């Protein structure tokens, strides 16, 4: 199986919200997340990832429903474990949901979800999503006890949080990469193993040394590159960087 790329287009909405949060119906309210979705698909995105946060700082509910109805590529909804988000997911019916922790002050998702600390609640939410035909991933730090807890709650997939690796240098970087490798090896084949956060055009070569990866979720670096070359080309470049992956 080739390694798949999910493109996170939240930052397109971040840019729009920076100017038009109070006037989203304005014809000037750009850039448009739906058009960005089309551009990402044209570049080879295998799925689109969006995160509806409790504070609606970037993607709005209406964006999600438009993306769902106008694009046929699989949709991955990142969401916190709340009744509000569960209700949205059950109406939106994305192919995948990725359960993430959410903390009001953070700039982006910081740590992984503490699946072990929330076993009962997460088990319940996973079951309700799976009953609706949605495959469920949990975004976790590369810790074996969190991998085991992810199996226990009935998740289909984990997304290994690569942020600590992306932020580390020298010996710490090597240690973080080893932790990701050990976690992926421990999870396979019970769980599909995805990875995301902080992956860029430089560290992708090290990410590709992690075994058993099925999908990467990448946002910031692709959107940043898109400001130079356009989103379609930026996605194509990342897909090319991923082509030599050997699971």
Does residue 64 touch ligand PXP according to CB under 6 A? no
The one catalytic residue among 11, 161, 186, 197: 197
161 is catalytic: no
CB 49 within 8 A of CB 78: yes
Out of 78, 159, 176, 215, which one is annotated catalytic? 78
Stretch that binds ligand PXP, among 124-132, 147-155, 171-179, 194-202 (CB under 6 A): 194-202
- Asked whether position 78 contacts ligand PXP by CB under 6 A, the answer is yes
Cα 67 to Cα 33, 76, 102, 144, 180, distances in angstroms: 8, 11, 23, 35, 32
Torsion of CA 138, 180, 193, 81, to 10 degrees: 0
Among 34, 184, 219, 226, which residue sits at the site for ligand PXP (rule: CB under 6 A)?
A: 219
Q: DSSP 3-state assignment of 139? A: strand
Contact 5/235 with Cβ under 8 angstroms? yes
47 lines the binding site for ligand PXP (CB under 6 A): no
197 binds ligand PXP (CB under 6 A): yes
Q: How far is the CB of 238 from ligand PXP (least distance, A)?
A: 10
The stretch near ligand PXP (CB under 6 A) out of 24-32, 167-175, 177-185, 218-226 is 218-226
Of 51, 58, 161, 186, which one is the catalytic site residue?
Answer: 51
Q: Which residues pair with 139 in a beta bridge?
A: 159
Active site residue 78: yes
To the query of whether residue 173 is one of the catalytic residues in this protein, the response is no
Q: Which one of 81, 85, 100, 213 is in contact with ligand PXP (CB under 6 A)?
A: 100
In this structure, the dihedral spanned by the alpha carbons of residues 105, 231, 52 and 101, taken in order and rounded to 10 degrees, is -50
Among 94, 101, 118, 196, binds ligand PXP (CB under 6 A): 196
Core vs surface per residue 13-48: b (16+ CB within 10 A) or e = bbbbbeeeeeeeeeeeeebebbebbbbbbebbbbbb
Residue numbers at the binding site for ligand PXP (CB under 6 A) = 8, 10, 51, 78, 98, 100, 108-109, 139, 159, 196-199, 217-221
């Amino acid at each position: 199986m080739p390694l798949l790329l999910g493109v996170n287009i939240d930052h397109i909405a971040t840019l729009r919200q920076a100017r038009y949060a109070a006037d989203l119906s304005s014809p000037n309210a750009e850039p448009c997340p739906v058009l960005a979705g089309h551009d990402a698909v044209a570049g080879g995105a295998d799925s689109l990832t969006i995160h509806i946060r409790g504070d609606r700082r970037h993607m709005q509910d209406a964006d999600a429903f438009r993306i769902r109805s106008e694009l046929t590529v699989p949709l991955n909804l990142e969401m916190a474990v709340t009744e509000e988000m569960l209700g949205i997911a059950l109406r939106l019916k994305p192919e995948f949901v990725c359960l993430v922790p959410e903390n009001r002050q953070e700039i982006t998702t910081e740590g992984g979800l503490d699946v072990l600390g929330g076993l009962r609640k997460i088990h319940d939410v996973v079951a309700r999503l799976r009953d609706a035909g949605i495959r469920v991933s949990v975004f976790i730090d590369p810790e074996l006890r969190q991998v085991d807890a992810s199996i226990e709650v009935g998740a289909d997939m984990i997304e290994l949080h690569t942020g600590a690796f992306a932020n580390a240098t020298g010996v710490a970087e090597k240690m973080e990469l080893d932790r990701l490798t050990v976690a992926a090896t421990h999870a396979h084949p019970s769980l599909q193993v995805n990875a995301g956060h902080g992956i860029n055009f430089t560290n992708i070569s090290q990410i590709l040394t992690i075994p058993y990866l099925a999908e990467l979720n990448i946002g910031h670096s692709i959107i940043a590159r898109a400001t130079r070359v356009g989103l379609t080309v930026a996605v194509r470049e990342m897909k090319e960087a991923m082509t030599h992956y050997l699971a």
